[in-house]
Amino acid sequence: MVGEDGKLPYRYDIFTGEPLADWDPMTNMINRILPFRISKIGSQAREMVFRSGVNLNQEFTSTPDGQSLKEYPKVISRFQYLISQQNLEEQFQELFKDPVVMKSILDMERDHANGVTLSPNETLHGTRISQILRTAKLNAWAQLQAEDATVNRIAEEAHLKKLEARARKSGDSKRAAELDALQNIPK
């Protein structure tokens, strides 16, 4: 994920916005595994987010509408920074104070232990975690669109891809080809 300038983008703890302590071997090892970056391990909020089963793999490396940003490391860095400035850790701490949310996680863990497979998206806690993440992503994306022309181009490409897919599904191959050509115009 080296940027166009040949440098690695800055990396921030997604929960707090603090710069990463990459010099710490344990932090470095954990951040090689996770799709997002964190500095501290061990807070109850972080533990509960991980225990929740909510899939965070693409949460911080894709646009709010799901388009991958892997080709844009600087955008990912800035996007993650803007998400982190919304203090997710504090929001999750508040969420996990709710006994109903905690019961939802414990019930899901019990069900899994008894062989019942349940998607976190079908649970109260999964829905509430997703709402927090969705709001943070939408806020960060809007701010990023206001400050970076690359982001607007990414959004336009995503919109063109959706229109092209819609045209193909409706059988309008001529329109789909036109939209495909628009996506391939040199930037």
Looking at the predicted structure, is the pLDDT value of residue 155 above 60? Answer: yes
The domains of the chain are located at 1-147, 149-187
d(CA 14, CA 48): 15
What is the model's pLDDT at position 2? 47
d(CA 137, CA 73): 16
In 3D, which of 19, 56, 62, 7 has the Cα closest to residue 34?
A: 56
- What's the whole-model pTM score? 0.75
Two structure tokens written together for 28: 């470095």
Two structure tokens written together for 170: 């409706």
Other beta carbons within 10 angstroms of residue 163's beta carbon come to 16
Two structure tokens written together for 12: 């921030």
Looking at the predicted structure, is the pLDDT value of residue 135 above 90? Answer: yes
Looking at the predicted structure, is the pLDDT value of residue 3 above 50? Answer: no
- 47 neighbors 21 (Cβ within 8 angstroms): no
The pLDDT confidence band at residue 137, using thresholds 50, 70 and 90, is: very high
Side-chain half-sphere exposure of 187, counting CA atoms within 13 A = 9
Tens digits of residue pLDDT in 50-95? 889 888 777 888 888 888 888 888 888 889 889 989 989 899 999 9
Within 8 A by CB and 6+ apart from 134, the residues are 64
Side-chain half-sphere exposure of 42, counting CA atoms within 13 A = 4
Two structure tokens written together for 42: 């061990």
Looking at the predicted structure, is the pLDDT value of residue 105 above 50? Answer: yes
